[in-house]
Amino acid sequence: MKTIGLLTSGGDAPGMNACIAAAVEAAEKRGIRVRGIIAGFRGLLETNSIPIGTELAGLARRGGSFLGTSRNGNLEKELAEQGIASAMSRCCVDGLVVLGGGGSLGAAARIAADGAPVVGVPCTIDNDVHGTDYCLGFDSAVNKALRAADEILDTAESLSERIFIIETLGGKTGHIAVAAAYAAGADAVFVHEIQPDIEGAARKIKTKMDAGGTHGLVFLCENLGTSEIAAKLESIAGRRVRITILGHTQRGGNPTYLDRALAREFGELAVETLVTGDYGKMVAYKAGDVTTIHLSEAVNKTKELDIAKYKAVNGG
């Protein structure tokens, strides 16, 4: 293998640039050139690639992906019509490392099934890729939520008798919300995977505040109806509710130590896996070890919520 292509797809995540830098370094040590595919699978279709080298190592501290990303949409159909081998040849690459979330890794699995030399790297703040305990970007996103909670609670302790809601990202999964709620010692967390018990949470918070507690703290995942939940909590608990929506602040910013360290290990192992011809795999973090699994194991499956942490926050 003479040249490896690096492609970032789907949403961006802190740690992607660090993974790119690690993969480039690992490839160059083996005498292998690297090309970056601009704007994900769209760039592969449009023959939009650039040579990249270790001079980009300084990008490791930055969030997102300097290569840019694109949503798949009809790209897979176009790629199938064009032919993956032809697209890779025109981009002057012999193999691909695809960095992205579940949708992007699903696309990687399908082109791998067509015989393309592909290795995947799980990168999504949602942390919802099956088969890996951890996806790049998750720790950075949770830490953003925790910093927000800390700053809000500074206010809560002096401006008492209020319930504070923090809405996190996460799509249709509650991994960020549960992790942040557990670490922050929140009173409740609401997610898509489990029917929210809003009345129970409101009564729990009211009892605590009636007994002298200064505030209530609730985390919830986006797209659950934050305003409606806030109104219900306010009505039952009899306290004012204030909402903070974190939004895309969780996607940006410098990656944490954990994201940088695992990005390096993921990038190095992805290159090693590709170079040794062990195609159709995804690097993964399982039970404290960085390893590989078949891409087919990671796609079209639901990653379970951490129920123990969910129950620790909500009770039950």
Q: Which of 144, 171, 132, 176 is nearest to 10 (CA)?
A: 171
Residues 216 and 187: their CA atoms lie apart, in Å, by 6
Structure-token pair, residue 21: 């830098």
Residues 9 and 260: their CA atoms lie apart, in Å, by 19
The answer to whether the beta carbons of residues 156 and 204 sit under 8 Å apart is: no
The answer to whether the beta carbons of residues 67 and 39 sit under 8 Å apart is: yes
Residues 61 and 193: their CA atoms lie apart, in Å, by 33
The answer to whether the beta carbons of residues 118 and 5 sit under 8 Å apart is: no
Taking CB atoms within 8 Å and a gap of at least 24, the contacts of 77-84 are: 78/45, 79/41, 79/44, 79/45, 79/111, 80/114, 82/45, 84/111, 84/114, 84/115, 84/116
| Catalytic sites, residue numbers | 126
